[in-house]
Structure 1
Amino acid sequence: MDDKVKFEIEFPIHASPQLLYQYISTPSGLSEWFSDNVNSRGELFTFIWDDSEEQAKLLNKKSGERVKFRWIEDEEDGLSCYFEIRIQVDEITKDVSLMITDFADDDDEVAESKMLWTNQISSLKQVLGSA
């Protein structure tokens, strides 16, 4: 199977990197905006939505900076894709952004995937009170 199409999106967010990191790296933080519920056992995270669940492996994380996951299904298919949520701080303005790197099945699905992320981040901004 061919690898997927990589894309990146940037979302400016008014929150401290330390606070944001809690929301992107912990099951309780992720369950506030990313999915209905999140459980983790070591590096294995289970994301639960209404009637479905997906498992992802935490590939790496850097405190206050980024987390990187790979869906177990993609790993089983031998794909090297992942999704990464990275906190970026502008050195001069100190503006904070979340940089999302993800993969879609093909070019046609990139727009749809970006829309999903936009919706997720908008939930995050509501939780943070920075919408």
Structure 2
Amino acid sequence: MPLSATRSKHRFTVELPVNASPKILYPYLASASGLSQWYCQDVRIDEDHRYNFIWDNQPHFAEMSSHRTNRSVRFVFLDQHKRPIVDANYLDFSIEESQLTQEVYLRVIDYSEETDDSELQDMWEGLILKLRELVGG
């Protein structure tokens, strides 16, 4: 989750199976309504197409910096004035599909100040469990 840009950053990656097709999964990763169902308290999009992720009633602004429909999406977090930050926190979701087994995996890269890997692992496993329940996987 985003914090100030003053502390050193940590790149955490987790990849977990999700039994849902990329077409079903992608809207939960790339749309405000989809994200607000499993990822945080609420997500809103402002008039400048910036995302406002709300945790504990606190706003955290981000821009969707890249996306490939049904494949991946990246959100780069902004400062409280909605301006870019040097070495900004980001969140990257990638949908991976095994050609051999046809299994679908969600890979998450969480780049932030949070350095406790076991805490991050638990948090993301919980979030993805919630997501799996939504998509039927």
Compute the TM-score of the two structures, normalised by the length of structure 2: 0.82
Q: Which residue of 1 aligns with 2:61?
A: 55
Moved more, 59-68 or 78-87: 78-87
Of Structure 1 and Structure 2, the greater helix share is in 1
What is the CA–CA distance in structure 1 between the aligned matches of 2:114 and 2:54, rounded to whole Å? 25
Deviations along 1:78-125, one digit per CA (max 9) or x if unpaired, are 214421000000011110000001124264x23222222111111111
In the alignment, structure 1 residue 114 sits paired with structure 2 residue 121: yes
The 1:117/1:72 distance shift into structure 2, 3 A limit, reads same
The 1:118/1:73 distance shift into structure 2, 3 A limit, reads farther
Q: Which residue of 1 aligns with 2:44?
A: 39
1:100-111 matched pairs, under 5 angstroms: 100-105=108-113, 107=115, 109-111=116-118
Q: Which residue of 2 aligns with 1:68?
A: 74
Q: Which residue of 1 aligns with 2:26?
A: 21
What is the CA–CA distance in structure 2 between the aligned matches of 1:59 and 1:23, rounded to whole Å? 17
What is the CA–CA distance in structure 2 between the aligned matches of 1:24 and 1:86, rounded to whole Å? 9
Mark the runs of 5 or more structure 2 residues left unpaired by the alignment. Answer: 1-5
Mark the runs of 5 or more structure 1 residues left unpaired by the alignment. Answer: none
SS at match of 2:79: helix
RMSD between superposed Cα atoms in Å: 2.1
Instruction: Give the number of equivalent residue pairs.
Output: 129
Query: Contact conserved, 2:97 with 2:104, CA < 8 A, in 1?
Result: yes
Percentage identity across paired residues of the two chains: 26
Query: Contact conserved, 2:41 with 2:56, CA < 8 A, in 1?
Result: yes
Q: Which residue of 2 aligns with 1:85?
A: 93
